[in-house]
Amino acid sequence: MIEVASAANADRQVLRSPASEADGGPEDRGLALDLMRCMWRAREADASVPRTDAAADVVASMFEENTHVLRQIMKQYGWPGYKLVGERAAQAAWHIAHYCPDIGFQAEALQLLGEAVRAGDADPQHYALLADRLCAVRSQPQRFGTQYVPDGAGGLALYPVVEPRRLDDRRFAWGLEPHAEWDARVRGDAALVGFIGPRRP
């Protein structure tokens, strides 16, 4: 499966919120720092650890630790959104949820993330990416058209979409751009095509 968002590009795409750092900062800077540390550690490990089985075990263990951090925050606060931790740490929380190996936890995170998006406290694109990732892992058609697969000729093919004619209706309902615009950006920007974190077995 080819994912269509890198960490750097997801940072650029985070929507501004009335409760962002620009409006006085997050309510809990300690939680924000914990989440940022998790993401920094994950990026560094994935970029620098050799591709061996032993190294993969180390990275997997680190991702489990990161998931534990987010799980504890979610139990106490719900989804860590803009108001609680700020935009960058909210991005880090999504990063952890999106690439953790526990599908059940991802489903729980998706529900809380959706509630935060509807409250204007999280990025709709994060919701779409996580929702589609879960669909793909479960071998189900995706809902928002964020996932692509190799087309066999060196390009990309859109992973199957449920009710394709209603794709933009679903995207608009969550405040997302038309799929044609997203697709054009994906195909025109190689940096948008990449994995964050370990691939699923």
**pLDDT tens-digit profile of 92-133?**
999 999 988 899 999 999 999 999 999 999 999 999 999 999
pLDDT at 12: 39
Query: How much is the average pLDDT of 67-75?
Result: 95
User: Total domain count for the chain?
Assistant: 1
pLDDT at 198: 30
Residue type, 19: A
pLDDT at 125: 95
180, part of any domain: yes
197, part of any domain: no
198, part of any domain: no
2, part of any domain: no
201, part of any domain: no
What would the pLDDT profile of 10-53 be if each residue is shown by its tens digit?
A: 433 433 334 444 445 667 889 999 999 988 887 776 666 566 66
159's CB contacts (< 8 A; 6+ apart) are 1, 132, 136, 141, 142, 147, 148, 149
179, part of any domain: yes
**pLDDT above 60 for 1:** no
**Stronger pLDDT, 200 or 84, i.e. the higher one:** 84
Query: How much is the average pLDDT of 165-176?
Result: 97
Task: Please tell me the distance from the alpha carbon of residue 148 to that of residue 64, in angstroms, as a whole number.
Answer: 26
What would the pLDDT profile of 132-151 be if each residue is shown by its tens digit?
A: 999 999 999 999 999 998 88
- C-beta separation of 149 from 159 below 8 A: yes
Domain range for 162:
7-192
1, part of any domain: no
Beta bridge mates, 90 = none
pLDDT at 24: 52
108, part of any domain: yes
The structure's pTM equals: 0.80
Q: How far is residue 171 CA from its own chain's centroid?
A: 16
